[in-house]
Amino acid sequence: MGLNVCSCARLGAMAVMDDLGAKGPLKADHMGKGLRVPPDVHALSRVSTFSSNPRARKVFDSTNFEHRKRMDAKQRRTQIVQAAAKVVASKGFWGMSLQDVADEIGITEAALYHYIDNKNDLLGMILRDYYDSQEADSYIYENARVRDVDGCELFYFPRFCLNNVLFNVRRPEMVKLFSTLNGEALSPEHPAHDYFINRQQKFWRQISSMNWLLPDVYRCDLNRFRHLWTLAMSAMDGLQLRWLGDASADLIEEWSAFSEELFPEPLWSGYGDPSEYDAQGGESLRAHGLHSGSAIVPLSQLDYPGCSCRCWSPIVDKRSSKPRIVRV
């Protein structure tokens, strides 16, 4: 009996985990087969930057906020949100008091109420205005985008993931804030509970609506791409937590090592970064887009290492004339 896709994925994950303490890394084109190769075969294997004696990363410096009695309303609101983010990242939402925030910026607690209604209102400002910023979205998405020779817009998923890391490494205080709130908000009583519980669904709706440049094995199966996206985001969240707990760790270097496992060659060759595309003399990429590509590729033609089963079938979505691939 042939292995299905899930079995292949499990074998690949087991092989990688089994190999963590072994002498030789797994070669990319054997992922899913559980085969071990000599260490000299994989020239790009990396040494972990995590310390054997870790110390937590210091995310806030000792610089105090400017204590000015007079500021315009916009400047003061910005200062209040920044101070509150610092306090929440250090103490958590439940441990924060409005007096803590007032002390940070040198005003009275009563003065805070000129700008906020209550503690919950302040938390909403932190999440809306400070963490989910337009600056972050612009950097992360724009640097993963390409327009091909036909003007078709597509996004590179591995570069999108890297952009998240590159942006977050510059703001460890925000990583700690998000991690702290995310843990606290598991409690239904937390005011940010709905925000964090629904965040992934909202995020996936946005991701799934974008025209990603993907290998056919992901382009033709949205469920599979969702699993990859979930795996990548979960790996990133976990890695960032470890990075906060180890000041000697290099987040970018560690993510680069993760990427070699998540996006192995040769499957992802040409699908990793906009720099791989020649905008002047390159070919049209439309057929390789999650939404712009409409052709169904037979499974027998898909170059997916370790899986030889036929577990997809084309159907027609009743809401659209465009055929899609589903598991059967």
pLDDT digits (tens, 9 = 90+) for 288-309: 999 988 644 433 343 433 333 3
Total of domains in the chain: 1
- Whether residue 318 lies inside any domain: the answer is no
- Whether residue 160 lies inside any domain: the answer is yes
Domain CATH code at residue 227: 1.10.357.10
Q: Residue 323 pLDDT > 50, yes or no?
A: no
**Helix residue ranges per DSSP H, 126-285:** 134-142, 157-168, 172-184, 193-208, 216-219, 222-244, 251-262
Lowest mean pLDDT among 16-20, 170-174, 282-286: 16-20
Neighbours of 253 (CB within 10 A): 13
Residues 148 and 189: their CA atoms lie apart, in Å, by 48
In the sheet where 145-147 sits, what is the strand order? 145-147, 153-156, 212-213
C-alpha pair distances (Å), 98 with each of 119, 125, 135, 201? 7, 14, 27, 32
Residues 29 and 110: their CA atoms lie apart, in Å, by 64
Residues 94 and 201: their CA atoms lie apart, in Å, by 26
What's the domain range around 196?
62-293
Average pLDDT taken over every residue of the chain: 78
Residues with Cβ within 8 Å of residue 113, at least 6 apart in sequence: none
Residues with Cβ within 8 Å of residue 156, at least 6 apart in sequence: 144, 145, 146, 212, 213, 271, 272, 273, 274
Which tokens belong to 54?
A: 């870790």
- Whether residue 132 lies inside any domain: the answer is yes
Instruction: Give backbone dihedrals phi and psi of 178, rounded to 5 degrees, phi first.
Output: -65, -45
Q: Is the dihedral of CA 202, 208, 213, 217 positive or negative?
A: positive
- Whether residue 323 lies inside any domain: the answer is no
Q: Tell me if 328 sits within 8 A of 313, measured CB to CB.
A: yes
Q: What confidence category does residue 62 fall into, taking pLDDT thresholds of 50, 70 and 90?
A: low
- Whether residue 163 lies inside any domain: the answer is yes
Query: 212 forms bridges with which residues in the sheet?
Result: 155
Please write the tens of the pLDDT for every residue from 235-255.
999 999 999 999 999 999 999
- Whether residue 22 lies inside any domain: the answer is no
- Whether residue 215 lies inside any domain: the answer is yes
- Whether residue 20 lies inside any domain: the answer is no
Q: What confidence category does residue 132 fall into, taking pLDDT thresholds of 50, 70 and 90?
A: confident
- Which pTM was predicted? 0.73
Residues with Cβ within 8 Å of residue 180, at least 6 apart in sequence: 88, 89, 92, 93
Section 33-41 average pLDDT: 37
195 Rama class: left (phi>0) / alpha (psi -120 to 50) / beta: alpha
Please write the tens of the pLDDT for every residue from 156-169.
999 999 999 999 99
Among the listed residues 192, 227, 199, 239, the one whose alpha carbon sits nearest the alpha carbon of residue 327? 227
